[in-house]
Amino acid sequence: MKSLAHPALLFPLALIGLLSGISGGFIRVGSTLTNFGAAAHGLYWVGGFLGTLISIERAMVMKHKGWLLVPFTSGISSLFFLLGLTALGYGLLLLASVGLILVMHLQAVKHPKIHTFLLYGGSVLWFLGNFMAFKQGLIAAGATWWMGFLLFTILGERLELSEFLPVKRPIKNLLLAFLAVFLLGLILPFHGIGPYLMGWSAIFIAAWLFRYDMAKRSVRKGKQFNYIGFGLLVGYAWLLLFGLILLFIPSHPLYYDLLLHSFFLGFVFSMIWAHAPIIFPLIFGIKESPFHFILWIPWAIFQVSLMGRILSSSMSWIEARREFALLNGLSILLIFLTMAGILVWKKKYPKKTKGKPSDLAHKKQEKVNLDLNINA
């Protein structure tokens, strides 16, 4: 089991989902650059990649490392989808989502806090999305539930990292009310009032985050803090745009494309890039942060290319949409490669420090002070 605890085995499985998802996206916009991954594009993204990363993060804090079988199961599902063994792939994703529910149940019992319950709810929504996609044989049937999974998870993690901010309980309850409206929108028919409830909820959640999240504190600081804070604010802007798309252009011929990619790429990946300097060291047990000022370059390419794709889709510029989608997919790989290069460089040329903090102090700094820097 110690081998499963090592990212050398688990993270490459997530990368298989990432690469397959990007390849499938290329095919869907009409590119011949790759030739695999189109059939299960959403399953690779949400299950094989994002579900695996989130499960690693949650399982790593469990005392018994056997729980790391959860991300292993979701990660290996991508291999079965690639081999055309769809039923087995779905079975593994369903098993992994049940495993994450159990992990979050145990964590919620031990730490009954708002953020833990949101993460718990997100795991349940992941299972429902996997079940709906499997039952109906249609990935679109699970897509909105997966949105709920990621929205609840991201907000849970934001509240977890913001635990020491002086946000009063009634203000947090307001956020919970907005999430309840989003959940109601998921339950109601998608071709009825459901999207309108989701849209208004997303807009109000984005407004809440702009007002009460720590991002506006971080963005006023330098270097890594500025990167984290600005990245978070951009992510909230994408969530706002997602809500506007839900409300105002439901009859657009590329409505589904705009809806999915403003959320999954715009909001979710912006949050991944912003959280990476905090979360990745905790997940992989490293002390170096994958941040350097050079990271702004691929980050900007990602954001600009995604804006180009969304604009092209909204204007039905098919050729431009394809080119921007290709650049956007490649920029995702470029960001990960840049982060990997930064870590290798920092390990090869470490900075000399006067003291060597303990692992406990290091983790506390990474989880709280690094993002919040509330005492600075």
Q: What is the DSSP track for 128-155? A: HHHHHHHHHT-THHHHHHHHHHHHHHHH
Q: What is the pLDDT of residues 286-339, one digit of tens each?
A: 788 899 999 999 999 999 999 999 999 999 999 999 999 999 999 999 999 999
Non-local CB neighbours of 334 within 8 Å, separated by 6+ positions = 298, 301, 302
**CA dihedral sign of residues 43, 44, 49, 52:** positive
CA–CA separation, 69 and 331 (whole Å): 30
Return the pLDDT at 7.
57
Please tell me whether the overall predicted TM-score, pTM, comes out greater than 0.85 for this model: yes
Return the pLDDT at 354.
47
Residue 135, CA atoms < 13 Å, CB-side half-sphere = 9
Return the pLDDT at 168.
85
Return the pLDDT at 211.
93
Nearest to 262 by CA among 281, 286, 277, 246: 246
Contact call for residues 150 and 158 (beta carbons, < 8 A): no
Return the pLDDT at 218.
84
Return the pLDDT at 6.
66
| Alpha helices (H) in 44-85, listed in sequence order | 52-59, 69-82
| 70: phi then psi, degrees, rounded to nearest 5 | -65, -55
Non-local CB neighbours of 286 within 8 Å, separated by 6+ positions = 280, 343
Return the pLDDT at 363.
43
pLDDT tens, the chain, 376 aa long: 444 456 557 889 999 999 999 999 999 999 988 888 888 899 999 999 999 999 998 998 888 889 999 999 999 999 999 999 999 999 999 999 999 999 999 999 999 999 999 999 999 999 999 999 999 999 999 999 999 999 999 999 999 877 777 788 899 999 999 999 999 999 998 888 999 999 999 999 999 999 999 888 888 887 899 999 999 999 999 999 999 999 999 999 999 999 999 999 999 999 999 999 888 887 777 788 899 999 999 999 999 999 999 999 999 999 999 999 999 999 999 999 999 999 999 888 887 644 443 343 344 334 444 343 333 3
Return the pLDDT at 371.
40
| 329: phi then psi, degrees, rounded to nearest 5 | -65, -45
Return the pLDDT at 8.
58
**Placement of tokens 């997530």 in the chain:** 14
Return the pLDDT at 360.
36
Angle between the N-to-C axes of helices 194-212 and 169-187, in degrees from 0 to 180, rounded to the nearest 10: 160
